[in-house]
């Protein structure tokens, strides 16, 4: 490295060397060269995990682990050790980690075991459960660099509020996970830690901005991770990696004291990110949300809304579940395999006696352009200031897409918020069907395309719209992309709806892409519920998930 190199290069070199040193030599693996496209099964063939550790990491979710530790089937230390080792393997396969604190985790687990033996009581619902965190969360003594060199080598002096909540409820924290530079890309790549690879297929994206969590959970280096979502950053990685992810409404989960690379105080006028779970099972998402609700975080953070888990809505209780289906957002038409898996889900639900009604929401097509105005209101100048401190360039994908811009003045901000209020009022109509009945939840695509090749994600309209409207929404995996899906074609010859739709079609055009890149990648749907009704969302998702599990042969573990 030359003395003339910009400072960010030396910082990145030091960070990667430190990270590498924290993986014990006996946990190191040899990845075949060339590496296989799928590394999902590699942990079972690594000979690093003992039979007990394979059992702990492969046959359980967070819910059953909490029960097993509570019944003394496993110790918290044995569980923590198993997941530290498997996370180390996952990282070597996919580059999914940033900060590693395995030693702290093992010490914490030992303490929990000793306290349980002494008192006969667990610390909380998450006693001994390993929980991984997106790099945005601050953990005292560790960086929250979010892949930006100027934020590295500056350990946090205090925890994010959610970190304190998780620790108080008994969780064992052991690692943080990789993100895209600026948190503004849908492919997790940065100049400090590098790119996250998708363990299902290393040619396609792992998603962003919570891409490291998605890859880690897919490889079961974690069964319960925490991400954030301001445009799709939980739901998109969940889709890409074939796991479950839930974006709550704003204020349901504490967001205080995170590193987002944004100017302090700007959250009140911008679109607000939500923190939420990425997990191996849907019931783990509920475990996380119910535990956080039970911690009464509104007493410590004025931005957290009041409401215990039982107060967050119900679905299908008085009558049978009534599900809506939204086929398109009116901006980008879903590609044939996306429409097909949505149709398959509708048919599965109807065959089980669940009524599904078609929804029309013409106002939805106005959401993506308004979201873009919110994203641009600060001009990204604060982020550029952080990058320029160390001479750090934008990544190749962000380079042509992100520029310094003008900060929108008060009059413009008022106009944007007025548009938002009007859309929120108009979209309330979606929750009532033609017969005047209340829709419990609706299903729609997570994205208009399958999991695309690296750096070719098209649009976040199908996810960002529900951030704008503040609806809780979740990703639910349905099945894998199969050989027969390659032959699905358009059923009409309509013209593209616009430039986004035109580009989307190139992701299925045989002249632009080899469709076989999609083979064995996950196909998912999105489930959406009314604002601040997370329990209603999880109940609806659970009913749909049960139907899917009964009728679809899933080759990978689904607890």
Residue list for the binding site? 183, 209, 230-233
- Please identify which residue in the block is written with the tokens 């599900």: 323
What torsion, rounded to 10 degrees, do the Cα atoms 367, 371, 373, 378 define?
170
Residues 134, 176, 247, 339: which is the catalytic one? 134
DSSP 280-311: SSHHHHHHHHHHHHHTTGGGT-TTSPP--GGG
DSSP 430: G
Residues 46, 145, 160, 209: which is the catalytic one? 209
DSSP 498: S
Long-range interactions of 267-273: CB distance < 8 A, separation 24+: 269/377, 269/413, 269/417, 270/374, 270/377, 270/378, 271/230, 271/231, 271/371, 271/374, 271/375, 271/464, 271/467, 271/468, 272/230, 272/467, 273/228, 273/229, 273/230, 273/233, 273/467
Give the phi and the psi of residue 13 in degrees, each rounded to 5. Answer: -60, -45
Residue 88 CA to residue 24 CA, distance in Å, equals 9
Q: Which two tokens stand for residue 257?
A: 């004291």
Q: Which residue, 210, 305, 217, is CA-closest to 258?
A: 210
Q: Which residue, 518, 343, 357, 353, is CA-closest to 440?
A: 357
Three-state SS for 39? Answer: coil
According to DSSP, the residues that pair with 523 across neighbouring strands are 479
Residues 150, 160, 233, 465: which is the catalytic one? 233
- Please identify which residue in the block is written with the tokens 């090749």: 453
Residue 18 a catalytic site member: no
DSSP 507: T
Residue 134 a catalytic site member: yes
- Neighbouring residues of 104: CB distance < 8 A, sequence distance ≥ 6: 173, 174
According to DSSP, the residues that pair with 355 across neighbouring strands are 322
The 3 state secondary structure assigned to 347-364 is HHHHHCCCEEEECCCHHH
Helix (H) or strand (E) holding 230: none
What torsion, rounded to 10 degrees, do the Cα atoms 17, 18, 24, 26 define?
0
The annotated binding site for substrate is made up of 183, 209, 230-233
Residue 46 a catalytic site member: no
DSSP 271: P
Three-state SS for 154? Answer: coil
The residues annotated with a catalytic role in the active site are 134, 209, 233
């Amino acid at each position: 490295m030359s003395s003339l190199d910009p400072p960010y290069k030396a910082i990145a070199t030091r960070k990667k060397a430190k990270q590498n040193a924290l993986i014990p030599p006996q946990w190191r693996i040899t990845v075949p060269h060339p590496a296989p496209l799928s590394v999902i099964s590699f942990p079972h063939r690594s000979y690093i995990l003992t039979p007990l550790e394979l059992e702990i990491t492969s046959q359980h979710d967070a819910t059953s682990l909490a029960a097993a530790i509570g019944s003394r089937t496993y110790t918290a230390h044995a569980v923590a050790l198993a997941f530290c080792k498997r996370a180390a393997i996952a990282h070597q396969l996919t580059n999914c980690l940033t900060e590693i604190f395995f030693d702290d985790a093992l010490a914490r687990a030992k303490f929990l075991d000793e306290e349980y033996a002494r008192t006969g009581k667990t610390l909380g619902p998450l006693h001994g459960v390993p929980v991984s965190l997106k790099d945005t969360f601050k953990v005292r003594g560790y960086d929250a660099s979010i892949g930006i060199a100027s934020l590295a080598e500056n350990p946090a002096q205090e925890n994010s509020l959610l970190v304190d909540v998780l620790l108080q409820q008994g969780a064992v924290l052991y690692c943080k996970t990789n993100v895209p530079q600026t948190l503004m890309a849908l492919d997790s790549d940065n100049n400090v830690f590098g790119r996250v690879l998708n363990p299902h297929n290393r040619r396609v994206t792992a998603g962003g901005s919570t891409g490291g969590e998605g890859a880690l959970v897919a490889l079961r280096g974690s069964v319960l991770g925490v991400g954030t979502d301001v445009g799709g950053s939980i739901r998109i990685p969940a889709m890409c990696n074939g796991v479950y992810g839930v974006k709550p409404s704003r204020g349901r989960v504490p967001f205080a004291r995170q590193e987002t690379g944004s100017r302090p105080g700007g959250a009140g006028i911008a679109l607000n990110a939500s923190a939420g779970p990425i997990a191996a099972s849907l019931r783990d998402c509920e475990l996380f949300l119910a535990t956080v609700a039970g911690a009464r975080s509104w007493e410590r953070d004025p931005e957290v809304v009041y409401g215990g888990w039982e107060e967050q809505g119900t679905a299908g209780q008085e009558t049978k579940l009534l599900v809506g289906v939204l086929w398109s957002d009116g901006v980008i038409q879903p590609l044939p395999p996306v429409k097909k898996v949505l149709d398959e889900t509708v048919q599965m639900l109807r065959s089980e006696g669940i009524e599904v009604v078609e929804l029309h929401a013409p106002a939805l097509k106005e959401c993506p352009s308004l979201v873009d105005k919110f994203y641009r209101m600060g001009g990204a100048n604060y982020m550029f200031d952080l990058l320029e401190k160390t001479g750090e360039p934008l990544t190749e994908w962000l380079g042509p897409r992100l520029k310094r811009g003008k900060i929108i003045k008060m009059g413009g901000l008022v106009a944007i918020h007025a548009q938002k209020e009007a859309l929120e009022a108009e979209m309330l109509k979606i929750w009532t069907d033609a017969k005047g009945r209340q829709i419990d939840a609706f299903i729609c695509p997570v994205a208009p395309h399958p999991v695309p090749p690296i750096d070719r994600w098209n649009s976040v309209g199908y996810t960002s719209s529900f951030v704008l409207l503040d609806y809780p929404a979740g990703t639910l995996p349905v099945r894998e992309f199969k050989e027969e899906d390659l032959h699905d074609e358009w059923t009409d010859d309509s013209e593209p709806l616009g430039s986004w739709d035109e580009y989307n079609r190139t992701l299925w055009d045989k002249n632009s892409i080899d469709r076989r890149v999609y083979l064995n990648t996950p196909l998912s749907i999105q489930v959406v519920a009314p604002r601040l009704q997370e329990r209603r969302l999880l109940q609806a998702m659970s009913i749909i998930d049960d139907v899917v599990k009964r009728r679809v042969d899933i080759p990978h573990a689904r607890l």
